[in-house]
């Protein structure tokens, strides 16, 4: 129980920072939908899909490799850190320079002629992100969750601040609506034709300002390239690199390929890029699940490695999985039945509600991904990382096939099915192989029961509709109460045991 408490407490810190940070970032949705057109949002969706893909190339699996070799293998953790950071820094600077120099060609390739500066800023974002990756990992490994969270939040606040400055403040000042005395200056600075440009510029500035803060907090770096340290780390990381590439295809290709897969005029009045903007905006609503998955991953990865030698680790991992599913399915029901309310708050433009029906599929897909992260511990602690490549490659194939075949037929829902189907296949295959190489007594029947009931209740919000918004709210949230009561009935024995233990501790 003490290990679970440790994981829960660290997840809470990561979770609070992730929830707060993502919520702040989430508030950019009404900003983007209110101030930018759907074409700009389509560009934002596509370019950030590209950034997510290339992020994996720039760090090439060394983050997880660092965790593995700094917690075992008989190596000095400090040496592992310095070697890892040196190698990642050199590779990211080289790749970033190549990307920067080829920016004009990339702009033409991705159909942004004359906008090479966009891909120059992409090069800066990727390089800085890679340089920051290992120092962030060091804070996680050392259990410095609070420091990690505060720096992450500072980065987010800076990013949001620059977005507000460029997209809102300059816009109104240039029009003479705010601070008229500064209008001449604002008109020189403000570019009405810029949309995604300002989003990327804000990201570059925020990352650049956070770089010295994190490097200071994580401690000085000694530049070293020790073959004895890096050679085994590289062999461990290579499969993870390909796993990451395949995984990011699962994660972002539905957004990146959407505008190329959707037929022209599939949605009347929307261009392909504008339809991509609607899809990307609705994809953002899945943030409620993805931030929980991210917070859990931050805490769980070092935790699982540290507990790997514990003889009771299989039972511990099974309990973690069980309560993870319970928590995430409850969140999914809460979000899904309230999508009408959530979308009315965050979508300030018209036409974005077209994509709402895909959101429960995305939420469930992310939940499958979280389960996969739990399951994947077997190939990490048994050094069978080659299976990560096989599994995520299979997921990537499923993603691409579904996008190319179902998006032209079902549009937004077809793209969401690529996320759902890909992570479902990965989850199932990882479970089957994992039980062969590292058996863990997961509660499969109860887990499937929770998942099935959650999916049904999540779509009840679409099936059960009333003319009154208040009646809709009350009826839809009654589904949350029903699900909560079901959990209490299913977990009555364990919850009673936990309550008795807590009561004993409180009794003097």
In a domain, 182, yes or no: yes
Residue 309's pLDDT band (boundaries 50, 70, 90)?
low
Tally of domains within the chain: 1
Please report whether residue 418 resides in a domain.
no
Is residue 392 in some structural domain?
no
What tokens appear for 93 in the block?
A: 């600077």
Q: Are 15 and 292 in contact (CB under 8 A)?
A: yes
> Which residue range forms the structural domain that includes residue 207?
43-225
- Tell me: the pLDDT tens digits for 406-437? 999 999 999 999 999 999 999 999 999 999 88
User: What is 391-415 written as a DSSP string?
Assistant: HHHHHHHHHHHHHHHHHHHHTHHHH
Assess contact for 42 and 275: CB atoms under 8 A: yes
Find the mean pLDDT for residues 246-263: 78
- The residue with greater pLDDT, 19 or 175, is 175
> pLDDT tens across 338-364, in order?
998 888 887 877 788 888 989 999 999
349 located within any domain: no
Name the nearest CA neighbour of 361 among 251, 429, 455, 483: 455
Considering only residues 96 and 317, tell me which one the structure prediction assigns the higher pLDDT.
Answer: 96
Residue 202 in domain = yes
What HEC string does 114-141 produce? Answer: CCHHHHHHHHHHHHHHHHHHHHHHHHHH
Q: Supply the angle between the helices 287-307 and 145-163 in degrees, to the nearest 10.
A: 160
Least confident of 80-84, 96-100, 141-145, 272-276: 141-145
Core vs surface per residue 416-450: b (16+ CB within 10 A) or e: bbbbbbbbbbbbebbbebbeeebebebeeeebeeb
pTM: 0.71
Q: Which residues of 70-80 are buried (b: 16+ CB within 10 A; e: fewer)?
A: bbeeebeeebb
Q: State the residue for tokens 């062969």.
A: 436
Would you list the DSSP string of 328-372? Answer: HHHHHHHHHHTHHHHHHHH--SSSGGGGGGGHHHHHHHHHHHHHH
- Quick: pLDDT tens for 277-299: 888 888 888 877 877 777 777 66
Cβ atoms of 236 and 385 closer than 8 Å? yes
With cut-offs at 50, 70 and 90, classify the pLDDT of residue 320. confident
What pLDDT, in 10s, does the model give residues 144-178? 878 888 898 899 889 999 999 999 999 999 999 99
Using left for φ > 0, alpha for ψ between -120 and 50, and beta otherwise, residue 60 falls in left
Q: What is the mean pLDDT of residues 256-266?
A: 85
Q: Which residue has the tokens 């820094």?
A: 89
Residue 8 pLDDT more than 80? no
Q: Considering only CA atoms, which of 149, 152, 159 is closest in space to residue 125?
A: 159
Q: How far apart are CA 471 and CA 475, in angstroms?
A: 6
Question: Is 375 in contact with 431 (CB distance < 8 Å)?
Answer: yes
Average pLDDT over residues 449-454: 96
Q: Tokens standing for 30?
A: 């009404």
Residue 33 forms part of a structural domain = no
Q: Say if residues 192 and 56 touch (Cβ distance below 8 Å).
A: no
Query: What tokens does 281 get?
Result: 């905006």
- Kindly give, in sequence order, each residue whose CB lies less than 8 Å from that of residue 383, ignoring residues fewer than 6 positions away: 68, 236
- Inside any domain, residue 211: yes
Portion of the chain with pLDDT greater than 90, in percent: 41
Predicted confidence band of residue 186 (pLDDT cuts 50, 70, 90):
very high
According to DSSP, residue 450 is labeled H
Tell me, what's the pLDDT at 13?
61
CA distance 379 to 377: 6
Name the token pair of 505: 């501790």
Which residue do the tokens 């739990």 mark?
374
> Residue 155 is encoded by which pair of tokens?
């980065």
Alpha-carbon gap, residue 337 to 357, rounded angstroms: 11
Q: What is the pLDDT of residue 156?
A: 87
Cβ atoms of 355 and 462 closer than 8 Å: no
pLDDT above 90 for 248: no
- The answer to whether residue 397 is domain-embedded is no
Residue 39's CB: how many other CB atoms inside 10 A? 17
**pLDDT above 70: percentage of residues in the chain:** 89
CB 270 within 8 A of CB 36: no
The helix/strand/coil state of 446 is: helix
Q: Tell me the average pLDDT of the chain.
A: 85
Q: Are 82 and 230 in contact (CB under 8 A)?
A: no
Query: In the prediction, which pLDDT does 485 show?
Result: 94
**Residue bearing the bigger pLDDT, 220 or 121:** 121
pLDDT surpassing 60 at residue 236: yes
Q: How confident is the model at residue 1 (pLDDT cuts 50, 70, 90)?
A: very low
* Range 483-500 average pLDDT: 84
Least confident of 52-56, 130-134, 237-241, 495-499: 495-499
d(CA 262, CA 380): 38
Q: How far is C-alpha 408 from the chain's CA centre?
A: 26
* E strand spans, 22-86: none
């Amino acid at each position: 129980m003490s290990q679970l408490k440790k994981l829960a407490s660290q997840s809470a810190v990561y979770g609070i920072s992730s929830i707060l940070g993502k919520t702040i970032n989430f508030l950019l949705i009404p900003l983007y939908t209110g101030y930018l057109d759907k074409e700009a949002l389509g560009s934002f969706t596509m370019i950030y899909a590209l950034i997510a893909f290339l992020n994996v190339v720039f760090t090439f699996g060394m983050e997880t490799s660092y965790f593995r070799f700094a917690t075992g293998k008989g190596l000095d953790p400090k040496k592992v850190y310095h070697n890892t950071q040196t190698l990642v820094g050199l590779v990211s600077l080289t790749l970033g320079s190549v990307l920067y120099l080829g920016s004009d060609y990339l702009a033409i390739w991705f159909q942004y002629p004359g906008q090479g500066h966009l891909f120059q800023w992409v090069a800066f974002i990727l390089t800085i992100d890679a340089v920051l990756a290992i120092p962030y990992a060091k804070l996680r490994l050392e259990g410095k969750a609070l420091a990690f969270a505060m720096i992450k939040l500072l980065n987010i606040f800076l990013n949001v601040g620059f977005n507000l400055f460029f997209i809102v403040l300059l816009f109104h000042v240039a029009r003479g609506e705010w601070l008229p005395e500064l209008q001449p200056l604002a008109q020189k600075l403000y570019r009405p034709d810029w949309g995604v440009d300002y989003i990327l510029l804000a990201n570059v500035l925020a990352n650049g300002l956070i770089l010295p803060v994190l490097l200071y907090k994580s401690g000085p770096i000694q530049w070293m390239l020790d073959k004895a340290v890096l050679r085994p780390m590289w062999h461990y990381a290579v499969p993870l690199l390909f796993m990451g590439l395949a995984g990011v295809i699962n994660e972002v290709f539905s957004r990146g390929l959407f505008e190329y897969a959707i037929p022209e005029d599939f949605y009347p009045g929307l261009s392909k890029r504008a339809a991509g903007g609607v899809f990307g905006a609705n994809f953002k609503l899945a943030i409620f699940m993805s931030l929980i998955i991210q917070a859990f991953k931050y805490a769980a990865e070092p935790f699982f490695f540290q507990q790997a030698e514990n003889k009771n680790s299989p039972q511990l991992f099974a309990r973690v999985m069980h309560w993870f599913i319970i928590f995430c399915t409850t969140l999914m029901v809460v979000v899904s039945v309230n999508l009408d309310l959530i979308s009315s708050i965050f979508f300030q433009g018209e036409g974005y509600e077209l994509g709402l029906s895909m959101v429960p599929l995305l939420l469930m897909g992310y939940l499958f991904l979280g389960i996969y992260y739990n399951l994947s511990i077997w190939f990490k602690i048994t050094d069978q990382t080659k299976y990560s490549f096989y599994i995520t490659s299979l997921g990537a194939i499923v993603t691409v096939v579904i996008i190319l075949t179902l998006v032209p037929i079902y549009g937004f829902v077809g793209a969401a099915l690529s996320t759902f189907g890909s992570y479902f296949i990965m989850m199932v295959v990882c479970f089957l192989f994992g039980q062969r190489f590292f058996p863990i007594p997961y509660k499969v029947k109860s887990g499937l029961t929770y998942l099935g009931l959650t999916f049904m209740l999540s779509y009840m919000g679409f099936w059960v509709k009333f003319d009154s918004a208040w009646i809709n709210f009350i009826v839809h949230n009654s589904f949350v109460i029903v699900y909560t009561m079901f959990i209490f009935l299913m977990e009555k024995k364990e919850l009673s045991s936990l309550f008795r233990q807590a009561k004993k501790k409180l009794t003097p």
